Amino acid sequence: MEGLAQRAAECLAEIREKQPLIHNITNFVVMNSTANALLACGASPVMAHALEEVEQMVSFAGALVLNIGTLTPPWVESMLLAAKKARALGVPAILDPVGSGATALRTESSRRIINQAGVSVVRGNASEVLSLTDSASRTKGVDSAHSVDEASQAARDLALAIDTPVAITGAVDLITDGKRTLRVANGHPMMTKVTGTGCLASAIIGAFLAVEPDYLVASAAALAYVGLAGERAAAVSPGPGSLQVNMLDALYNISPADLAQGAQIRA
Amino acid sequence: MRDIDRLHVLTDTELQSRYSHEELTELAIAGGAGVIQFRQKHGSTRQMIETARHMQAICRRRNAKLIINDRLDVALAAGADGVHLGQDDFPMALARQILGPDKIIGGSASTMEEAGLCLAEGVDYIGLGPVFPTTSKDDAGPAGGLELVRRVSREFGLPVIAIGGIDAARASEVIRAGAHGMAVISAVCCQADPQAAAAELLLAMLG
């Protein structure tokens, strides 16, 4: 069977075989958990944000993950520098505009990274994605005040405007490049009770970008994998504490065949 | 504008007898269909409602949508996500009044004129076809071809779901012609492995 679930399985197998270096400039909250998630997936994470080293680091990387969760202006400068270098070298980059829309610094920094450096994928919740378009939107802190459906047209408009696939994660994830749209129905509601599951999803998308040149497919495959891990973990977790631990185990234990079987990628 | 999924599968138990409507619903969703359409022209209303309720439960559980062809009463009874109406079926504007703004209403069109009528009646998407010659529907008119898809997609600003004779080999040209998505019957239901067939269509749609 040659479907998207199969493509997702092939991506996972390739990540485990090649163990691509994933360069993260991310936030204090999830630095440890996303590094562990990338290891469990089979990738090789590195966290490096000093202005003096990001260009050198990204030159060895299979992908770059930018996350503005606990941003300060110097960190944003590092992200811009790394993203420009990544673009020059053809290294794919993903931006997670955490809390964009909540403060001017977050919205402006996200827009600067997109417009001045350019990225390969933008992944956010509905409110964050809406904040990057010119439509009026309100973000409540870092959690979404909007549904995926409300933001789907905005996501398509944004993807076309910046010529970059946009992923909105929610109950059903939506990934669009403006012309093509996919949905991923994997996941579990308990995932929203653990901090950093969105950041984890972005980091894993980074790993999939390192092996799959069609960034729309890579993003859908990564989100199916993370969602499936969430489903498996939730089935054996009485609450969010154990879910966090069991997510890592699930990411580690899901085989390519499991992903081919369990991925729920739709249109 | 509503967000309409792109791969619609009409479950059919007259062209094939291997799978039930419920089984096809499961398999098509597993393969990547976002919308399942229940179309049955024969049989008792009571039986139709029962089948539709089963299908709705599957769709709800798996986050897909169920649309009922022609039968507004069955859609209401089953708590379906919407209806798909032909030019001679239940009037589309009246269906909108009854179902309200949140339900999906699709309208069939085979010409520019009919597509214009659909728009005027307030549908969420236009089911346009037959695009290619088809054997799945007895009373399907002559094939309109990709040119009609192009014109309707450009003209009306509504999502066009192309139908009629579409298979994996033709999926990408239909999308390139401007269709938002496609609806298939035989290309999934009449295949030995409906799930794999749906998955192949989904991949083909990405071009």
End-to-end CA, chain B: 25
Quote the mean pLDDT of chain B.
95
C-beta separation of B12 from B185 below 8 A: yes
Query: What percentage of chain B exceeds 70 in pLDDT?
Result: 100
At residue A27 the predicted structure's pLDDT band, cuts being 50, 70 and 90, is very high
Which residues of chain A make contact with B207, given a CB cutoff of 8 A?
Answer: 180
Digit-coded pLDDT (tens) for A183-194: 999 999 999 999
Digit-coded pLDDT (tens) for B40-54: 989 999 999 999 999
Q: What is the total residue count of chain A? A: 267
**Hey, which residues 20-59 in chain B have their CB within 8 Å of chain A?**
29-34
Is residue A125 pLDDT above 70, yes or no? yes
Report the pLDDT value the prediction gives residue A1, as an integer from 0 to 100.
52
Q: Establish how many alpha carbons lie within 13 A of residue A223's alpha carbon, considering only the half-sphere containing its beta carbon.
A: 31
Comparing CB atoms, the residue among A152, A180, A266 nearest residue B32 is A266
**Is A216 within 8 Å of chain B by CB?**
yes
Mean pLDDT of the region B74-83 = 98
User: Between A154 and B201, where is the model more confident?
Assistant: B201
Mean pLDDT of the region A73-87 = 98
pTM of the model: 0.92
Query: What percentage of chain A exceeds 70 in pLDDT?
Result: 94
Mean pLDDT of the region B113-141 = 92
Mean pLDDT of the region B170-187 = 97
How would DSSP label each residue in chain A? --SHHHHHHHHHHHHHHH--EEEEE--TTTHHHHHHHHHHHT-EEEE---TTTHHHHHTT-SEEEEE-TT--HHHHHHHHHHHHHHHHHT--EEEE-TTBTTBHHHHHHHHHIIIII--SEEEE-HHHHHHHSSS----BTTB-SS-HHHHHHHHHHHHHHHTS-EEE-SSSEEEE-SS-EEEE----GGGGGSTTHHHHHHHHHHHHHTT-S-HHHHHHHHHHHHHHHHHHHHHT-SSHHHHHHHHHHHHHH--HHHHHHH--EE-
Q: CB distance B202–A3 less than 8 Å? A: yes
**Is B8 within 8 Å of chain A by CB?**
no
Sheet containing A93-96, strands listed edge to edge, beginning at the edge strand earlier in sequence? A44-47, A21-25, A63-67, A93-96, A121-124, A166-168, A173-176, A181-184, A265-266
Active site residue B6: no
Report the pLDDT value the prediction gives residue B184, as an integer from 0 to 100.
98
Q: Which residue of A has its CA nearest to B5?
A: A267
Angstrom CA distances, B17 to A17, B20, B37, B53, B69, stand at: 44, 7, 17, 20, 20
- Give the Cα separation of B123 and B92 in Å (integer): 7
Size of interface A-B (CB pairs under 8 A): 66
Question: Which residue among the candidates B65, B137, B151, B170 is catalytic per the annotation?
Answer: B137
Active site residue B44: no
Q: CB distance B32–A6 less than 8 Å? A: no
Active site residue B108: yes
Q: Give me Rg for the CA atoms of chain A.
A: 16
Digit-coded pLDDT (tens) for A253-265: 999 999 999 999 9
Report the pLDDT value the prediction gives residue A151, as an integer from 0 to 100.
82
Digit-coded pLDDT (tens) for A28-62: 999 999 999 999 999 999 999 999 999 999 999 99
Q: CB distance A266–B1 less than 8 Å? A: no
